Structure 1
């Protein structure tokens, strides 16, 4: 029988790589991890975005050593994506990063809204590249660094956390076919990878509507109207907040007993 012990802070001094961690939910998770004492590595397509985000995070946490936050450019939308990933991994190793404890993937292009009759092979591939194809390639090339973190212990159990979306569970009328297919496929990928990569843990977080720049394609008036209508429907009476949703990722990293799971954080949207 287990004896009562002081509860460990399982993320303190752990190294976490956040793919596309400079915006939206990824940025929120980065902030939460720094608050828990982790070392974070961010990626972004643009160096300017990396510099801006790192500066903001260090201002929020002045007590954090600057060496605890670093960043690398990584273009996940190009045809040379696999070479781009290899180059990033080589840079990590050159900078002395021989292992990572956790990997989280947040990358995603703007949502692909189109009717079935408008879908082409090119539009399908474009919609899938960043959210699924590049996701799998990132995991493929980062597995050796995750394995290098060593075997799972009660203090740290290396993990991968993917990001999907609630439309994979509940269809929405009107042009969501591609997005529904992509998000649902990530559920299957996480479960399969959890078996294929064991004892590495693999999970996927599935957010509902969250107040992020994902909806920036709308005007402010449209966005506010969309949020208000969403709030009326949700059992929680609110849309998701990045700080709340970030906790789902931290749980996936911290709980060494969870793998192959779809972690839903959606304001109760599946109940209505």
Structure 2
């Protein structure tokens, strides 16, 4: 596993909705009590950014950690936004990585991810972050923050179980409730350029370079390059054959069921 810090661009300081930052990048809120580590799962999405802003408002930035996982498949503009957001808060993001791409994980696991099971998320995001937390964040003195919003509150119990023994909080599930569009407007208002994938119709700031056919993006499949889709479907077929799954055409399936 590797760990690095990105090069950050200069941020801007304006007031919007919840947080006012000083010209030097420090929070206007009273710093949180010494000894508590506040770790934001910083995916590079607008929800995790808004979460970091609310945490900084309440607790300051002295013990604020922006923990990001590099899957080697993100849109390059995601890392531009991570660096800019970190500079705006005055915090250098901590970036961890397994070192593999999603396709290497699929090959190693002999399984291609989908909307219900995402091995790339487990191996490329959760495990590297958990290793960092285990080494650097005492559960007794750490609060972990996840950037889901009020539309995703059903996920809270599973996320809390998954990140045990750390205490987990969900600032964007609390009032005042914001939509993604409002979060994007907030980022613009404080001088940041929102991630470009939102402008292209994605609902999440993540898009593997080989075409995203796993759980990570909600962009329409028709937007994927045909060659990328062909490779993905071919890999799926090979994995199924390796696992002993018999593949049949729709016609063959109908014939078998009517026999």
Fold match by TM threshold 0.5? no
TM-score by length of structure 1 reads 0.35
Asked which structure has the greater CA Rg, the reply is 2
Instruction: Answer 1 or 2: higher relative contact order, Cα 8 Å, separation at least 6.
Output: 2
TM-score of the two chains, using structure 2 as the length reference: 0.37
